Amino acid sequence: MRPEEEEGLDDTVSRLKSVISQSLRYGVAEGRAERDVTPALRGAMKPVHGGHRAAITAPLKVGEVLRAVDGYGGDPVTGYALRMLPNVFIRPGELRNAEWAEFDLAGGMWRFPAGRMKMKNPHAVPLATQVRELLYDLQELTGTGRLLFPGRRSKDRPISAVTLTAGLRRMGFSTEEICPHGFRTTASTPLNEKGYPADWIERQLALRERNGVRAAYNRAEWLQERIRMTQEWPDCLDGLKAEWPLRGLSWPWPDRCRPWAEFPPCEVLYSEKGVKQTLTGLLP
Protein backbone atom coordinates (compact mmCIF):
# COMPACT_ATOMS: atom_id res chain seq x y z
CA MET A 1 0.00 0.00 0.00
CA ARG A 2 3.01 2.29 0.31
CA PRO A 3 3.15 3.30 -3.39
CA GLU A 4 -0.55 4.22 -3.39
CA GLU A 5 -0.11 6.07 -0.10
CA GLU A 6 2.80 8.11 -1.48
CA GLU A 7 0.77 9.03 -4.57
CA GLY A 8 -2.06 10.32 -2.38
CA LEU A 9 -4.57 7.65 -3.44
CA ASP A 10 -6.38 7.57 -0.11
CA ASP A 11 -9.46 5.75 -1.40
CA THR A 12 -7.30 3.05 -2.98
CA VAL A 13 -5.33 2.58 0.24
CA SER A 14 -8.56 2.23 2.20
CA ARG A 15 -9.94 -0.37 -0.22
CA LEU A 16 -6.68 -2.32 -0.26
CA LYS A 17 -6.59 -2.41 3.52
CA SER A 18 -10.18 -3.65 3.60
CA VAL A 19 -9.48 -6.42 1.09
CA ILE A 20 -6.34 -7.51 2.96
CA SER A 21 -8.28 -7.59 6.21
CA GLN A 22 -11.05 -9.71 4.70
CA SER A 23 -8.51 -12.11 3.21
CA LEU A 24 -6.68 -12.51 6.50
CA ARG A 25 -9.89 -13.09 8.44
CA TYR A 26 -10.82 -15.77 5.94
CA GLY A 27 -7.35 -17.25 6.39
CA VAL A 28 -7.87 -17.38 10.15
CA ALA A 29 -11.18 -19.18 9.68
CA GLU A 30 -9.50 -21.72 7.37
CA GLY A 31 -6.54 -22.20 9.68
CA ARG A 32 -4.07 -20.66 7.21
CA ALA A 33 -3.37 -17.41 9.07
CA GLU A 34 -2.84 -16.61 12.72
CA ARG A 35 -4.58 -13.23 12.84
CA ASP A 36 -5.66 -10.10 10.99
CA VAL A 37 -2.68 -7.76 11.19
CA THR A 38 -4.33 -4.73 9.56
CA PRO A 39 -5.43 -3.12 12.87
CA ALA A 40 -1.73 -2.88 13.76
CA LEU A 41 -1.19 -0.65 10.70
CA ARG A 42 -3.14 2.19 12.27
CA GLY A 43 0.00 3.92 13.50
CA ALA A 44 2.21 2.80 10.60
CA MET A 45 0.18 4.30 7.77
CA LYS A 46 -0.40 7.99 7.26
CA PRO A 47 -3.81 9.15 8.52
CA VAL A 48 -6.29 9.87 5.76
CA HIS A 49 -7.30 13.52 5.67
CA GLY A 50 -9.96 15.15 3.59
CA GLY A 51 -9.23 18.08 1.34
CA HIS A 52 -7.11 18.72 -1.69
CA ARG A 53 -3.80 17.17 -2.66
CA ALA A 54 -0.66 19.26 -2.45
CA ALA A 55 -0.26 21.49 -5.50
CA ILE A 56 1.66 24.61 -6.53
CA THR A 57 -0.31 27.35 -8.26
CA ALA A 58 1.89 30.44 -7.78
CA PRO A 59 3.63 31.27 -11.10
CA LEU A 60 7.01 31.92 -9.45
CA LYS A 61 7.04 28.51 -7.73
CA VAL A 62 5.64 26.71 -10.78
CA GLY A 63 8.50 28.12 -12.84
CA GLU A 64 10.98 26.84 -10.27
CA VAL A 65 9.45 23.34 -10.40
CA LEU A 66 9.44 23.26 -14.21
CA ARG A 67 13.08 24.31 -14.47
CA ALA A 68 14.03 21.69 -11.89
CA VAL A 69 12.13 19.01 -13.81
CA ASP A 70 13.88 19.96 -17.07
CA GLY A 71 17.20 19.49 -15.28
CA TYR A 72 16.25 16.20 -13.60
CA GLY A 73 19.36 14.07 -13.21
CA GLY A 74 17.80 10.73 -12.31
CA ASP A 75 16.54 7.90 -14.48
CA PRO A 76 15.82 9.26 -18.01
CA VAL A 77 12.47 7.45 -18.31
CA THR A 78 11.31 8.99 -15.03
CA GLY A 79 12.53 12.37 -16.27
CA TYR A 80 10.35 12.16 -19.39
CA ALA A 81 7.32 11.21 -17.27
CA LEU A 82 7.90 14.19 -14.98
CA ARG A 83 8.25 16.54 -17.96
CA MET A 84 5.03 15.27 -19.55
CA LEU A 85 2.92 15.39 -16.40
CA PRO A 86 2.46 19.21 -16.14
CA ASN A 87 1.34 19.40 -19.78
CA VAL A 88 -1.29 16.69 -20.20
CA PHE A 89 -3.76 17.14 -17.29
CA ILE A 90 -4.11 13.41 -16.64
CA ARG A 91 -3.78 11.38 -13.45
CA PRO A 92 -0.32 10.02 -12.60
CA GLY A 93 -1.50 6.41 -12.78
CA GLU A 94 -2.90 6.96 -16.27
CA LEU A 95 0.45 8.39 -17.35
CA ARG A 96 2.55 5.64 -15.79
CA ASN A 97 0.55 2.91 -17.53
CA ALA A 98 0.57 4.59 -20.96
CA GLU A 99 1.08 2.29 -23.96
CA TRP A 100 2.51 3.27 -27.34
CA ALA A 101 -0.49 1.74 -29.11
CA GLU A 102 -2.71 4.48 -27.60
CA PHE A 103 -0.84 7.28 -29.39
CA ASP A 104 -1.30 8.88 -32.78
CA LEU A 105 1.74 11.15 -32.81
CA ALA A 106 1.22 12.32 -36.37
CA GLY A 107 -2.38 13.26 -35.58
CA GLY A 108 -1.49 14.69 -32.18
CA MET A 109 -3.91 12.58 -30.14
CA TRP A 110 -3.72 10.20 -27.19
CA ARG A 111 -6.79 7.95 -26.92
CA PHE A 112 -7.52 6.05 -23.72
CA PRO A 113 -9.76 2.97 -23.72
CA ALA A 114 -12.49 3.03 -21.08
CA GLY A 115 -10.79 0.36 -18.98
CA ARG A 116 -7.75 2.57 -18.43
CA MET A 117 -9.70 5.50 -17.00
CA LYS A 118 -10.76 6.05 -13.39
CA MET A 119 -14.30 6.95 -14.51
CA LYS A 120 -14.40 4.00 -16.96
CA ASN A 121 -15.13 6.22 -19.96
CA PRO A 122 -12.94 6.48 -23.09
CA HIS A 123 -10.95 9.69 -23.18
CA ALA A 124 -9.04 11.64 -25.82
CA VAL A 125 -6.11 13.87 -24.90
CA PRO A 126 -4.84 16.36 -27.52
CA LEU A 127 -1.06 16.45 -27.64
CA ALA A 128 0.65 19.83 -27.76
CA THR A 129 3.72 20.31 -29.92
CA GLN A 130 5.94 20.22 -26.81
CA VAL A 131 4.47 16.88 -25.70
CA ARG A 132 4.91 15.32 -29.12
CA GLU A 133 8.57 16.38 -29.16
CA LEU A 134 9.06 14.65 -25.81
CA LEU A 135 7.35 11.52 -27.10
CA TYR A 136 9.46 11.36 -30.24
CA ASP A 137 12.58 11.55 -28.05
CA LEU A 138 11.19 8.97 -25.63
CA GLN A 139 10.52 6.59 -28.53
CA GLU A 140 14.26 6.19 -28.96
CA LEU A 141 14.45 4.82 -25.41
CA THR A 142 11.29 2.74 -25.01
CA GLY A 143 9.56 2.73 -28.41
CA THR A 144 10.37 -0.91 -29.13
CA GLY A 145 8.33 -2.06 -26.15
CA ARG A 146 4.68 -1.84 -25.15
CA LEU A 147 4.98 0.73 -22.36
CA LEU A 148 6.16 4.32 -22.49
CA PHE A 149 7.54 4.17 -18.96
CA PRO A 150 8.70 0.62 -18.18
CA GLY A 151 10.27 -0.13 -14.85
CA ARG A 152 13.92 -1.02 -14.49
CA ARG A 153 13.28 -4.59 -13.35
CA SER A 154 10.74 -5.54 -16.00
CA LYS A 155 9.90 -4.00 -19.36
CA ASP A 156 6.38 -5.40 -19.04
CA ARG A 157 5.57 -3.44 -15.88
CA PRO A 158 5.42 0.37 -15.63
CA ILE A 159 7.36 2.50 -13.20
CA SER A 160 5.82 2.32 -9.76
CA ALA A 161 3.43 4.82 -8.21
CA VAL A 162 6.15 6.02 -5.87
CA THR A 163 8.65 6.74 -8.67
CA LEU A 164 7.24 10.14 -9.67
CA THR A 165 6.86 11.17 -6.05
CA ALA A 166 10.44 10.15 -5.31
CA GLY A 167 11.59 12.19 -8.30
CA LEU A 168 9.96 15.33 -6.92
CA ARG A 169 11.47 14.70 -3.49
CA ARG A 170 14.90 14.16 -5.07
CA MET A 171 14.65 17.66 -6.53
CA GLY A 172 13.91 19.09 -3.11
CA PHE A 173 10.13 19.58 -3.19
CA SER A 174 8.37 18.44 -0.04
CA THR A 175 5.18 16.43 0.43
CA GLU A 176 3.43 19.59 1.63
CA GLU A 177 4.41 21.50 -1.53
CA ILE A 178 3.42 19.22 -4.37
CA CYS A 179 2.59 15.66 -5.33
CA PRO A 180 2.30 14.20 -8.86
CA HIS A 181 -1.48 14.45 -8.80
CA GLY A 182 -1.17 18.14 -7.91
CA PHE A 183 -0.11 19.06 -11.46
CA ARG A 184 -3.77 18.75 -12.44
CA THR A 185 -4.56 21.58 -10.03
CA THR A 186 -1.52 23.50 -11.25
CA ALA A 187 -3.09 23.52 -14.71
CA SER A 188 -6.78 23.89 -13.90
CA THR A 189 -6.46 26.81 -11.45
CA PRO A 190 -4.88 29.39 -13.81
CA LEU A 191 -7.00 28.18 -16.74
CA ASN A 192 -10.14 28.81 -14.71
CA GLU A 193 -8.80 32.18 -13.60
CA LYS A 194 -8.04 33.07 -17.22
CA GLY A 195 -11.68 32.42 -18.06
CA TYR A 196 -11.52 29.22 -20.06
CA PRO A 197 -14.96 27.54 -19.92
CA ALA A 198 -15.18 25.02 -17.10
CA ASP A 199 -16.64 22.44 -19.50
CA TRP A 200 -13.41 22.35 -21.48
CA ILE A 201 -11.20 22.08 -18.40
CA GLU A 202 -13.28 19.40 -16.69
CA ARG A 203 -13.46 17.34 -19.86
CA GLN A 204 -9.70 17.59 -20.26
CA LEU A 205 -9.31 16.43 -16.66
CA ALA A 206 -11.75 13.56 -17.34
CA LEU A 207 -13.82 14.46 -14.30
CA ARG A 208 -17.20 12.98 -13.47
CA GLU A 209 -20.11 15.33 -14.13
CA ARG A 210 -21.50 16.46 -10.75
CA ASN A 211 -24.96 17.32 -12.07
CA GLY A 212 -26.82 14.07 -12.71
CA VAL A 213 -29.29 15.57 -15.19
CA ARG A 214 -26.56 17.33 -17.09
CA ALA A 215 -24.44 14.17 -17.15
CA ALA A 216 -27.31 12.25 -18.72
CA TYR A 217 -27.49 14.59 -21.70
CA ASN A 218 -24.09 16.18 -22.10
CA ARG A 219 -21.86 14.05 -24.33
CA ALA A 220 -19.82 16.94 -25.68
CA GLU A 221 -16.11 16.26 -26.03
CA TRP A 222 -15.18 19.91 -26.76
CA LEU A 223 -12.32 18.42 -28.75
CA GLN A 224 -11.52 21.34 -31.05
CA GLU A 225 -11.67 23.75 -28.11
CA ARG A 226 -9.45 21.51 -26.00
CA ILE A 227 -6.90 21.18 -28.81
CA ARG A 228 -6.37 24.93 -28.65
CA MET A 229 -6.42 25.10 -24.85
CA THR A 230 -3.95 22.24 -24.45
CA GLN A 231 -1.51 24.01 -26.78
CA GLU A 232 -1.83 27.41 -25.12
CA TRP A 233 -1.13 25.94 -21.67
CA PRO A 234 2.29 24.42 -22.55
CA ASP A 235 3.12 27.63 -24.43
CA CYS A 236 2.38 29.52 -21.22
CA LEU A 237 4.61 27.14 -19.26
CA ASP A 238 7.41 27.63 -21.78
CA GLY A 239 7.14 31.39 -21.33
CA LEU A 240 7.19 30.98 -17.57
CA LYS A 241 10.38 28.93 -17.70
CA ALA A 242 12.07 31.27 -20.16
CA GLU A 243 11.32 34.42 -18.16
CA TRP A 244 11.76 32.93 -14.67
CA PRO A 245 12.26 34.50 -12.17
CA LEU A 246 11.67 37.87 -13.83
CA ARG A 247 8.15 36.88 -14.82
CA GLY A 248 7.23 35.14 -11.57
CA LEU A 249 4.27 37.22 -10.46
CA SER A 250 1.91 36.53 -13.37
CA TRP A 251 1.25 33.93 -16.04
CA PRO A 252 2.85 34.76 -19.43
CA TRP A 253 -0.08 33.77 -21.61
CA PRO A 254 0.65 33.71 -25.37
CA ASP A 255 -0.34 36.88 -27.22
CA ARG A 256 -2.78 34.91 -29.36
CA CYS A 257 -4.60 33.62 -26.26
CA ARG A 258 -8.01 35.28 -26.14
CA PRO A 259 -9.46 36.50 -22.82
CA TRP A 260 -12.21 33.90 -22.67
CA ALA A 261 -13.86 35.67 -19.73
CA GLU A 262 -14.99 38.40 -22.14
CA PHE A 263 -17.52 36.02 -23.65
CA PRO A 264 -20.74 34.85 -22.00
CA PRO A 265 -20.75 31.25 -20.73
CA CYS A 266 -22.00 28.51 -23.01
CA GLU A 267 -25.76 28.16 -22.98
CA VAL A 268 -26.82 24.58 -22.32
CA LEU A 269 -30.51 23.86 -22.82
CA TYR A 270 -31.84 20.50 -21.67
CA SER A 271 -34.80 18.61 -23.05
CA GLU A 272 -36.04 15.04 -23.04
CA LYS A 273 -34.57 14.56 -26.52
CA GLY A 274 -31.09 15.75 -25.70
CA VAL A 275 -28.98 18.82 -25.21
CA LYS A 276 -28.50 21.93 -27.29
CA GLN A 277 -25.24 23.79 -26.85
CA THR A 278 -24.66 27.34 -28.03
CA LEU A 279 -21.00 28.21 -28.61
CA THR A 280 -21.44 31.44 -30.54
CA GLY A 281 -18.54 33.80 -29.97
CA LEU A 282 -16.22 31.34 -28.25
CA LEU A 283 -14.15 30.39 -31.26
CA PRO A 284 -12.41 32.70 -33.71
Domains of the chain, by residue range, sit at 2-43, 59-278
- Residue 269: how many other CB atoms lie within 10 Å: 10
What does the pLDDT read at residue 110? 94
What does the pLDDT read at residue 278? 35
What does the pLDDT read at residue 267? 36
What does the pLDDT read at residue 272? 33
What does the pLDDT read at residue 226? 92
Q: What is the model's pTM?
A: 0.72
CA 209, CA 54: separation in Å to the nearest integer?
Answer: 23
What does the pLDDT read at residue 149? 98
Top-tier CATH class for 59-278: mainly alpha
What does the pLDDT read at residue 247? 58
**Secondary structure percentages of the chain, helix, strand, coil, to 5:** 50, 10, 40
What does the pLDDT read at residue 147? 97
DSSP assignment of 76-110 equals HHHHHHHHHHHHH---HHHHHT-BGGGEETTTTEE
Torsion (CA) 221, 233, 137, 165 in degrees, nearest 10: -90
CA 156, CA 9: separation in Å to the nearest integer?
Answer: 23
What does the pLDDT read at residue 9? 61
**214 closest CA partner among 279, 280, 267:** 267
pLDDT in single tens digits along all 284 residues of the chain? 676 666 556 656 766 777 787 888 888 888 888 888 878 776 666 655 545 678 999 998 999 999 999 999 999 999 999 999 999 999 999 999 999 999 999 999 999 887 777 656 778 999 999 999 999 999 999 999 999 999 998 999 999 989 999 999 999 999 889 999 999 999 999 999 999 999 899 999 987 554 444 443 344 578 889 999 999 999 999 998 887 776 557 888 877 665 444 433 433 333 333 333 333 333 33
What does the pLDDT read at residue 122? 79
